[in-house]
């Protein structure tokens, strides 16, 4: 999977590495900005109040 992506990136190894880095950062950004904030309330790790529900 990652090898497949790597082979489809243009340029030499250095350019490929740079593009990969940018892709990784983009994925991390999307995760932190959109995916994790959405997923967090669905997971039972951070409920601090007492309630009767």
Partner 1 sequence: MGVTTDQDEQTDAPSSGPDSPSSPRRRGTGRIAFAVSVFGELLITVGLVLGLFVVYSLWWTNVLADRKADRQGDKVRDHWAAEKDSGPGALDTKDGIGFLHVPAMDNGEVLVEMGTSAKVLNDGVAGYYTDPVKATLPMTGLTGNFALAAHRDGHGAKFHNIDKLRKGDPVVFETKDDWYVYKVFAILPETSKYNVKVLSAVPKQAGVTKPGHYITLTTCTPVFTSEYRYIVWGELERVDKVDSERTPPPELR
Q: Are 12 and 20 in contact (CB under 8 A)?
A: no
Q: Which is nearer to partner 1, 2 or 10 (CB)?
A: 2
Q: Which two structure tokens, joined as six digits, stand for 13?
A: 């190894």
Smallest distance from partner 1 to CB 10, Å: 14
Alpha helices, DSSP H, located in 1-53: 2-8, 13-30, 36-39
Smallest distance from partner 1 to CB 47, Å: 4
Does 39 help bind partner 1 (rule: CB under 8 A)? yes
Does 29 help bind partner 1 (rule: CB under 8 A)? no
Residues in the chain: 53
Does 17 help bind partner 1 (rule: CB under 8 A)? yes
């Amino acid at each position: 999977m990652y090898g497949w992506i790597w082979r489809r990136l243009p340029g030499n190894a250095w350019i490929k590495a740079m593009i990969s880095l940018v892709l990784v950062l983009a994925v991390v950004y999307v995760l932190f900005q959109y995916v994790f904030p959405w997923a967090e309330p669905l997971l039972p790790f951070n409920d601090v109040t007492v309630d009767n529900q």
